[in-house]
Structure 1
Amino acid sequence: MRSLLVVALVAGLTACTPADQTTAAPALTLPPTHAGFDYQLGGAYDPPAGVEVVTRDRTAAPAPGLYNVCYVNAFQVQPGEQKDWDPDLLLRDAAGNLVIDEDWNEPLLDLRTDDKRTRIAAKVNAWIDDCAAKGYQAIEPDNYDSYTRSKNMLTPDQAKAFHTLIATHAHAKNLAIGQKNTVELAGDRETVGLDFAVAEECGEHDECADYVDAFGNNVIVIEYTSSGLKAACTEYGDALTIVQRDLEVSTPGSPDYLRAACK
């Protein structure tokens, strides 16, 4: 009787527990707000004292013990990497010439069709997978605003459609994903699926309030001038994550290296 009772109890517990029940994935974690921050795109180095959040290029390892954001150039092609892309995924004008971001010598990616967006996203999503495997907590996809440099060949809706693809993938990997600049599309952040903002020179250009309206205090501000830093710190120094870096985001020891924060 006792053995039968045990069997019955076990059977009852099994019946109450679905065979396909799985453990829910943990929720993604946003960057801490009003935090010490360092923008290390020019090369990884030991973060200064007090830094809690670091952004590094996808090719670098994350900083141990900190919140790490993985930078990917999602909408344009890094110099020297053109051969890594199928030629038809590079945006070309009517004469067949590449459309280039002249400031950084980066060809733009062609986001004009669902098929091309899907193919480009497959490559970018592989980078996102690598960021997740390395231990990053968030993604910063750069050049969301590439459509503004596309000779009117790309549209904001195409940019948003592509960003939605990579945002969905990042979330599936339990990674937060940021909106880089492109303040004019900040109001669409929920539709696209963006969690925080990375705003370059919003103090310099009086745009920080627009990012705050869309993202609350989940805004990382990078300024490149002392006037921009002063403006950002005066208005949001007690709320946002703010840093000043040199334009080349160089490493300590470089003659151009500069890093400053709100006082």
Structure 2
Amino acid sequence: MTRLPALLFVLAVLTACSAPAPHPDPRPGERWRPAQGTTWQWQLDGRLDFGVDVPVYDIDGFENDAATVRRLHDAGRKVICYLNAGAWESFRPDHRDFPAAVLGRPNGWPGERWLDIRRVDVLRPLMAKRFDLCRAKGFDAVEPDLMDGYLNDTGFPLTARHQLTYNRMLAELGHERGMSVGLKNDLPQIPQLVGDFDFAVNEECFQYDECAALKPFADAGKAVLHVEYAVPPAEFCPRARALGFSSMAKRLDLGAWRRPC
């Protein structure tokens, strides 16, 4: 071996050793997905109630530790990691990592401001860390919230195209880490995004007469995890069952209380 090829060989070995290990990119069939019509619990506030007899829990990714996820797994449940992907939250441990330039107007929830989702260069690594947190704690799936900033007064000139790019980036982050990802609301873009996401999460489609927009998920055999806050279950449950939705009544604080269909 001559000196130059030997040097190139050493450099190649050093580069391979120093390069970060890629995230696994499992085949789609290897990711868990909630089954269409499955019952679920969505609790983001208060002491977690482990006693709800459902196969799927959706809980806050920051507020719950790996032991909590493991306990749910030991009880035979799958667990979805709730994350806010569309707004900055002053109360999260990573809030200082977000530069001021990407923080927009308040979104109506205390301590939250819309994010400039055009800045994928800034937000992708920040969201990747959040998805890594979900994976490290053992979650099976991710529910990124506020995926429809372009429909709101964020302080930025966001377009539907910006939202499509950002939402697909979030789906990719989850899939790279072996987790399924749900599309939260963003009803107008469901036809373009149903192929990118594994299930849907929706609030109040019956309240606002929007449930037909979720039909592409149902037609694709994918779960629609759905809640209503104001409409009585007697009014929406028969229609929700007919659509194949996983529906329940919840209170707006998303505590332990639930009334399933």
- TM-score interval (norm. to shorter): 0.7 to 0.9
- Which residue of structure 2 aligns with residue 89 of structure 1? 102
Output the amino acid matched with 1:198: V
- Which residue of structure 2 aligns with residue 100 of structure 1? 106
State the Cα distance separating 1:103 from its structure 2 match.
4.3
1:67 aligns with 2:78: yes
CA gap of 1:201–1:47, structure 2 versus 1, over 3 A, is farther
State the Cα distance separating 1:212 from its structure 2 match.
2.2
- Of 169, 187, 194, the residue aligned with 1:165 is 169
- Which residue of structure 1 aligns with residue 199 of structure 2? 196
1:180 aligns with 2:184: yes
Distance 1:41 1:168 in 2: 24
Check whether the contact 1:245–1:260 (CA below 8 A) recurs between aligned residues. Answer: yes
- SS of the aligned residue for 2:88 comes to coil
- Which residue of structure 2 aligns with residue 255 of structure 1? none
Matches within 5 A, 1:240-251: 240-251=245-256
Check whether the contact 2:225–2:247 (CA below 8 A) recurs between aligned residues. Answer: yes
Check whether the contact 2:89–2:112 (CA below 8 A) recurs between aligned residues. Answer: yes
Unaligned runs of 5+ in 2: 1-23
1:71-111 deviation line (CA, Å, top 9, x unaligned): 110010124344331112223xxxxxxx1112455211112
- SS of the aligned residue for 2:86 comes to coil
- Which residue of structure 2 aligns with residue 6 of structure 1? none
Distance 1:53 1:30 in 2: 10
1:22-72 deviation line (CA, Å, top 9, x unaligned): x99461111122222111111452334421111001111422321111011
Check whether the contact 2:83–2:145 (CA below 8 A) recurs between aligned residues. Answer: yes
Output the amino acid matched with 2:190: A
CA gap of 1:121–1:43, structure 2 versus 1, over 3 A, is farther
- Which residue of structure 2 aligns with residue 94 of structure 1? none
Distance 1:240 1:47 in 2: 23
Distance 1:48 1:221 in 2: 20
- Which residue of structure 1 aligns with residue 226 of structure 2? 221
CA gap of 1:156–1:43, structure 2 versus 1, over 3 A, is farther
Check whether the contact 1:196–1:215 (CA below 8 A) recurs between aligned residues. Answer: no
- SS of the aligned residue for 1:80 comes to coil
Higher-Rg member (1/2)? 1
Output the amino acid matched with 1:243: M
Q: TM-score with structure 1 length normalisation?
A: 0.76
Check whether the contact 2:145–2:184 (CA below 8 A) recurs between aligned residues. Answer: yes
1:28 aligns with 2:35: no
Output the amino acid matched with 1:69: I
- Aligned structure 1 segments of 4 or more residues deviating by more than 4 angstroms: none
CA gap of 1:159–1:104, structure 2 versus 1, over 3 A, is farther
Output the amino acid matched with 1:221: H
Distance 2:254 2:25 in 1: 39
Distance 1:244 1:48 in 2: 18
- Which residue of structure 2 aligns with residue 8 of structure 1? none
Distance 1:66 1:240 in 2: 19
- Which residue of structure 1 aligns with residue 208 of structure 2? 205
CA gap of 1:86–1:33, structure 2 versus 1, over 3 A, is same
Distance 2:25 2:129 in 1: 23
Distance 1:129 1:230 in 2: 40
Q: TM-score with structure 2 length normalisation?
A: 0.77
Check whether the contact 2:226–2:247 (CA below 8 A) recurs between aligned residues. Answer: yes
Matched positions, count: 222
Distance 1:34 1:260 in 2: 15
